[in-house]
Amino acid sequence: MKTPVQTTVKTPVQTTVQTPVQTTLDALLVETTNIVFRRAAEGSSDFELRVPAFALSAGASLAVRGPSGSGKSTLLALLSGELLPLEGEVRAQGRSLSEMSDAARRAYRATSVGQVFQTFELVASLDVLENVLLPFRLHGALVLDDAARARALELLGRVGLADKSRRPIDRLSHGERQRVAIARALVTRPSLVLADEPTGNLDPALKRVIAELLVLEARAANAALVVATHDESILGSFGAVLAIGDAHGGTR
């Protein structure tokens, strides 16, 4: 079901999302309540982002679209707990991120949030499998064991890279590197997957393929998916679209 989401821009730097995103699935993984976030900007007006209540359930997918500087990445950071709202709250599986300690939020990001970065953030000195397993080496809350390695190999198979698990990163194509980043985001079995411009640097033919792969794999992992994008061509891959920074309002 495609869910209309509308936005109103009150000033050139203020974004207001007016209509909540809703899902019909049972287990709510992420909920927001009237978020307000402000950031001082040198030499210009302060940036303000306002997002009324929305909720995402297991298997739901949401694209956040808007031009550069509209607040897409800021919203992803609020959903992960890297940033905290000035007003309102983000709740993850019923827990308020604002009420968690810094350590608890770090543990939440390590164990419950998978992230696909715009620039992939792969380590050139590691091979494909080692890059997928990197979260287990970086976060003490995660245990690198045989089950984790089996999960990584399973995901590489699902994204079509089973035969390249020991290949150096610099011998992969751009699209293959993006698929490694997707597998890494899912390897810890997160409840929430956040992807920042995941198709921004891909050829047109690959954009829809990667978008649909993200949706498919997040749904298979029973995770909620939020993708920040300015790419209109991939919006049809997602269950709902939230438009920010668009003076003409929402999409669907």
Structural domain harbouring 132: 7-243
Does residue 188 form part of some domain? Answer: yes
Does residue 60 form part of some domain? Answer: yes
Does residue 249 form part of some domain? Answer: no
Does residue 101 form part of some domain? Answer: yes
Report how far residue 218's alpha carbon sits from residue 155's, in angstroms, rounded to the nearest whole number. 11
Whole-structure pTM value:
0.84
Tens digits of residue pLDDT in 150-164: 999 999 999 999 999
The CATH number that applies at residue 28 is 3.40.50.300
Tens digits of residue pLDDT in 133-151: 999 999 888 999 999 999 9
Does residue 12 form part of some domain? Answer: yes
Report how far residue 188's alpha carbon sits from residue 215's, in angstroms, rounded to the nearest whole number. 17
Q: How many CB atoms lie within 10 A of CB 34?
A: 13
Domain count along the chain: 1
Place of tokens 């897409």: 72
Residue 241, strand partner residues: 63
Nearest CA among 157, 227, 140, 166 for reference residue 192: 227
Q: State the pLDDT confidence band at 42, using cuts at 50, 70 and 90.
A: low
- Which has the minimum average pLDDT: 22-31, 41-50, 70-79? 22-31
Does residue 248 form part of some domain? Answer: no
